[in-house]
Amino acid sequence: MNTVYVGMSGGVDSSVSALLLKEQGFDVVGIYMKNWSKDLPGMKCPWAEDLADAKRVAVKLGIPFEVWDFEEEYRKKVVDYMLDEFKKGNTPNPDIMCNQEIKFKLFYEKARAAGADFIATGHYARVGRFEHNHSGDGLLAPVVTGLAPSSSVVTSGSPRMVSSQSSSTCLLRAVDENKDQTYFLYRISEEALAHTIFPVGGMMKPEVKKLAEEKGLHNAYKKESMGVCFVGEVGMKDFLKEYIETEPGEIREIETEKVLGYHEGAVFYTIGQRHGLYLNGEKGIVNDGMPYYVVKKDLPHNIVYVSKNLNNENLWVNELKLEKIFFRSGLRPVGPSILVRLRHRAPLIPARFDGKKLIFAEKIKRPASGQSAVIYKDEICLGGGIIA
Amino acid sequence: MIYLDHAAATPVSKKVLEAMEPYFLKDFFNPSAAYLPAKKVAHDYEKAKGVIAHAIGAKASDLIITAGATEANNLAFTVINTREYPSFSERSLAPVVTGLGRSVFSPSENMLLERGYSSRILYLITEHDSVRRVAEQYGGIAIKVLPSGLIDLDDLQNKITDETKLISVSLANNELGTIQPMAEIAGIIKKIKLDRMKRGIKTQLLLHSDASQALNLLDINVARLGVDLLTINAAKIYGPKGVGALYVSHEAKLKPLTLGGGQENGLRSGTENVPGVIGFAKAIELTKEHLNGNRKKYASWRKILLSELTDYELVNKKHILDNFIVLCYNGIDAERLVFLLEEQGVYVATGAACAASKGIKSHVLKAIGLSDEQIAGSLRLTLGETNTEEQIHQVTQIINKIIKNEYSRIKKN
């Protein structure tokens, strides 16, 4: 029970993860998952440099290192899903899909088959355990069992040391609230989670960087990658332009049906968006200083509707209907005190869940359809769903 | 530190730096300005160009200064009238290999022509990307190499047609150090030119050579090489980076890629890189001075390396630059070796430094018929002025030890 396969991206978080596991005495194997290598116009895909960075760390730590090629599966399960959703008018989150289908499924399964007792990644999240409350609805305080070395975390050894028939694995928010990545992890399988270690989940990001520097890992100086990995700095719009054929169309004011401007393709717009709208309506009517928001997309007619009315039902809402609801095993949101996160790093909002929809005490700005709402009780991630 | 990657970059030598310094601080004037101090700068610039040109047997007026070899190579291809040839964005032909008894996809001439390729441009398959990409863009056709890395002269003769206008063959390859028989190529071209004249065919036939890798290791003379266009570069001869030049014979008519103030005979606009050119001149001067001594030194160190290193296969055996050693460690991942050596303060390159950073297998090593495994295990050592004989002995021990460890690590798995 001592072999850990670490997904190494070449970044500082997964590099430090491998380092920590090695220091804790695990037999560590580094794996670079090759998911995407295609260049985009104006952007060179950095996969080869990332791979070299990961390999250098593996060599430095003296651990075996392999490249696992998931490009075909990634294209099918993540990219195609993403493009399909955009074509339907939704705004999907490919990172959530990537964790669900690639990192915590294909990688997990392949690692286990290769002899791994655990997998590890550089995500900011923790694995804990909780005791079942047999009255059926509540939760007892979780026992946090992350492998974090930080003293700020209550640890009770590694996951393998806890075994209780009435306790289950659970996903816990990271200690560094600013970096918490459970939003991207809420749909990963229970089995994978039970065999996962998040070595940096109990640490603050600056600690991780400092440790990398102290240990001479060059990744400490690497620029952090932002956004969807394969889209990178070019941005989603330019990526979609390469893969989805679009036609220019009208931007209309929803209340009046008046044409205020033109767009490059309705799929590029997200409900709630206020930037990047090029409206050329009559002076004094459009340019009165009040912003227009995208409130509706009519894909069959390729029309984007905008409004200045902040009370528009598509902009500010009390309720959010969820689809493809996924709750982590043994966990159900109960009572009025659940917390919801609507975007990565967005604040946690108190809400109620009635089994189908989230109900908020105060109106919230409506997230785009296709995005996820992730539900927490205290620091436990209960699951979530995709916003309809 | 033991630096064995002089084909990738060389440090600027002290004398070069000293020569450049005044032109950053004191003599900073724009050579095009009217006042006397600027005129003096213009004069020094021209003089420096003369020194560079003289070193390759040419005149200052034959040189176009560029921002390095890549730009010079791009500029050389403007002898082809771009308007006549559409550019091609997608090109993915397998490299063509001869003499291996393996079946490699080799598109027929007709297929090539149908796809818009044309024999107007021929280039050696093992060319650096700054030639290869440009040639592909123009729809050029690749000439094969023999497993030795040398040009397949029969293939060259077969591919030259009455349409052929430009042939590009580097003097020495950047991954292997292979020196191409330019005199023989020039001989073939001369014969074809004569034949064209006899038959009244007016199409020009020009020879371009990228000599940036060979400038400090071979005695280069444009007339002797028989080239019409020659690319040289300061960065590989202990001069500054970002300075190169294209030698242009009177026969070759170029078109500018950069328009503006009309500097460099109108072919490369932009305020002159005065300190860069001064440094280039000094570097080339020093190179000429030490050429024979350095060659002997590198050749003897090369011998030491080849006799003291163990477990390797030598990739390139003959017709190579004296400072090049390409080794192949079967079954070993050369990129790992680079990192392991880095930890010992030894800096080397994998089979092709450029190709490795792009994550693609070297087209050069593929073209000479190495297997994927051999390519992955190829290490390029290039000797230079930062090295000492003591370092050479030291490095063989370091490499041998690492290789031994790697082989035992692999065995265990």
CATH number at residue A222: 3.40.50.620
A133 and A200 belong to one structural domain: yes
**A312 in a domain, yes or no?**
no
Can you say how many angstroms the Cα of residue B290 is from the centroid of all Cα atoms in its chain? 21
What CATH number should be reported for the domain holding residue A295?
2.30.30.280
Indicate the pLDDT class of residue B221, thresholds 50, 70 and 90: very high
A57: closest CA of chain B, how far (Å): 9
Judge whether B118 and B163 are in contact, CB under 8 Å.
Answer: yes
Query: Which residues of chain A are within 8 Å of residue B358 when distances are taken between CB atoms?
Result: 48
CB distance A48–B335 less than 8 Å? no
Kindly report, residue by residue over B33-50, the tens digit of the pLDDT.
999 999 999 999 999 999
SS3 A341: strand
- For residues A101 and A107, give the distance between their C-alpha atoms in angstroms, rounded to a whole number: 9
Question: Starting from the edge strand earliest in sequence, which strands make up the sheet with B121-124, in order?
Answer: B63-66, B244-248, B229-233, B206-210, B166-168, B121-124, B141-143
Least confident of A75-84, A96-105, A263-272, B131-140: A263-272
For residue A139, pLDDT over 90 is answered with no
Which tokens is A249 given?
A: 């169309």
Ramachandran quadrant class, B242 (left: phi over 0; alpha: psi -120 to 50; beta: rest): left
Kindly report, residue by residue over A282-294, the tens digit of the pLDDT.
555 555 677 888 9
CB distance B335–A37 less than 8 Å? no
For residue A117, pLDDT over 50 is answered with yes
A55: nearest CB among B335, B357, B360: B335
CB distance B343–A48 less than 8 Å? no
Q: Which domain holds residue A176?
A: 3-234
Question: Side-chain half-sphere of A304: how many Cα atoms within 13 Å?
Answer: 29
A16 and A72 belong to one structural domain: yes
CB distance B340–A59 less than 8 Å? yes
How would you classify the pairing of strands A65-69 and A27-34? Answer: parallel
Rg (CA), chain B: 22
A275 and A354 belong to one structural domain: no
A15 and A118 belong to one structural domain: yes
pLDDT computed for residue A199 by the predictor: 97
Out of B67, B113, B354, B398, the active site residue is B354
Most B-contacting residue of A49, A57, A59, A215 (CB-CB within 10 A), to test interface:
A59
Rg (CA), chain A: 22
Q: Which structural domains are found in chain B, ordered by start? A: 2-8+291-406 (3.90.1150.10), 14-285 (3.40.640.10)
A94 and A43 belong to one structural domain: yes
Rounded to 5°, the CA angle B96-A67-A28 comes to 155
The reply to whether B345 touches chain A by the CB within 8 Å rule is no
- For residues A156 and A158, give the distance between their C-alpha atoms in angstroms, rounded to a whole number: 7
- Comparison of pLDDT for A202 and B373, the residue scoring more: A202
Judge whether B189 and B207 are in contact, CB under 8 Å.
Answer: yes
Judge whether B133 and B363 are in contact, CB under 8 Å.
Answer: no
The ipTM is 0.71
A197 and A340 belong to one structural domain: no
**A239 in a domain, yes or no?**
no
Residue with the two structure tokens 């001594």: B293
SS3 A142: coil
**A139 in a domain, yes or no?**
yes
For residue B158, pLDDT over 50 is answered with yes
The reply to whether B359 touches chain A by the CB within 8 Å rule is yes
Which tokens is B56 given?
A: 């390759």
The reply to whether A37 touches chain B by the CB within 8 Å rule is yes
- For residues A1 and B381, give the distance between their C-alpha atoms in angstroms, rounded to a whole number: 43
**A262 in a domain, yes or no?**
yes
- Comparison of pLDDT for A361 and B396, the residue scoring more: B396
CB distance A55–B339 less than 8 Å? yes
Burial class (CB in 10 A: 0-12, 13-18, 19+), A275: exposed
SS3 A240: helix
**A35 in a domain, yes or no?**
yes
Q: Point out which residues pair with B229 in neighbouring strands.
A: B208, B248
Taking residues A342-367, report their average pLDDT: 91
A335 and A210 belong to one structural domain: no
Q: Share the mean pLDDT of chain A.
A: 84
Rounded to 5°, the CA angle B347-B352-B354 comes to 90
A51: nearest CB among B342, B359, B413: B359
Which tokens is B110 given?
A: 């007709």
A64: nearest CB among B335, B360, B413: B413
Most B-contacting residue of A8, A34, A56, A67 (CB-CB within 10 A), to test interface:
A56
A271 and A218 belong to one structural domain: no
A44: closest CA of chain B, how far (Å): 9
Indicate the pLDDT class of residue B367, thresholds 50, 70 and 90: confident
Taking residues A204-223, report their average pLDDT: 88
**A240 in a domain, yes or no?**
no
Which tokens is B95 given?
A: 């490299």
- For residues B323 and B177, give the distance between their C-alpha atoms in angstroms, rounded to a whole number: 8
Q: Share the mean pLDDT of chain B.
A: 89
Last residue of a domain, one of A255, A282, A307: A307
**Which of A74-83, B107-116, B371-380 reaches the highest mean pLDDT?**
A74-83
What is the 3 state secondary structure string of chain B?
Answer: CEECECCCCCCCCHHHHHHHCHHHHCCCCCCCCCCHHHHHHHHHHHHHHHHHHHHCCCCHHHEEEECCHHHHHHHHHHHCCHHHCCCCCCCCCCCCECCCCCCCCCCCHHHHHHCCCCCCEEEECCCCHHHHHHHHHCCCEEECECCCCCECHHHHHHHCCCCCCEEECCCECCCCCEECCHHHHHHHHHHHHHHHHHCCCCCCCEEEEECCCCCCCCCCCHHHHCCCEEEEECCCCCCCCCCEEEEECCCCCCCCCCCCCCCHHHCCCCCCCHHHHHHHHHHHHHHHHHHHHHHHHHHHHHHHHHHHCCCCEECCCCCECCCEEEEECCCCCHHHHHHHHHHCCEECEECCHHHHHCCCCCHHHHHCCCCHHHHHCEEEEECCCCCCHHHHHHHHHHHHHHHHHHHHHHHHC
Global confidence as pTM: 0.80
A38: closest CA of chain B, how far (Å): 11
Which of the 8 DSSP states describes residue A285? T
Indicate the pLDDT class of residue B352, thresholds 50, 70 and 90: low
A93 and A133 belong to one structural domain: yes
Q: Which candidate, B93, B71, B110, places its Cα nearest to that of B241?
A: B71
- For residues A186 and A180, give the distance between their C-alpha atoms in angstroms, rounded to a whole number: 12
Domain count across chain A? 3
Judge whether A91 and A270 are in contact, CB under 8 Å.
Answer: yes
How many pairs of residues across A and B have Cβ atoms under 8 Å apart? 25
Distances (CA, A) of B276 to B17, B48, B284: 10, 10, 12
Last residue of a domain, one of A234, A258, A276: A234
**Which of A232-241, A269-278, B378-387 reaches the highest mean pLDDT?**
B378-387
A22 and A89 belong to one structural domain: yes
Judge whether A338 and A385 are in contact, CB under 8 Å.
Answer: no
Last residue of a domain, one of A181, A203, A234: A234
Distances (CA, A) of B289 to A1, A43, A346: 66, 44, 67
**Which residues, at least 6 apart from A134, have a Cβ–Cβ distance to it below 8 Å?**
A166
Taking the alpha carbons at both ends of chain B, their separation in whole angstroms is 32
Judge whether B127 and B168 are in contact, CB under 8 Å.
Answer: yes
Q: Which candidate, B346, B354, B304, B294, places its Cα nearest to that of B325?
A: B304
Taking residues B78-101, report their average pLDDT: 47
A367 and A266 belong to one structural domain: no
Strand ranges (E), A265-371: 293-298, 303-307, 316-327, 338-341, 349-353, 357-365
CB distance B336–A60 less than 8 Å? no
Please say whether the dihedral angle defined by the alpha carbons of residues A148, A154, A158 and A159, taken in this order, is positive or negative.
negative
**A270 in a domain, yes or no?**
yes
Indicate the pLDDT class of residue A166, thresholds 50, 70 and 90: low
A224 and A269 belong to one structural domain: no
Least confident of B14-18, B43-47, B93-97, B292-296: B93-97
B265: closest CA of chain A, how far (Å): 32
- A62 to chain B: nearest residue by CA? B340
Taking the alpha carbons at both ends of chain A, their separation in whole angstroms is 42
The reply to whether B224 touches chain A by the CB within 8 Å rule is no
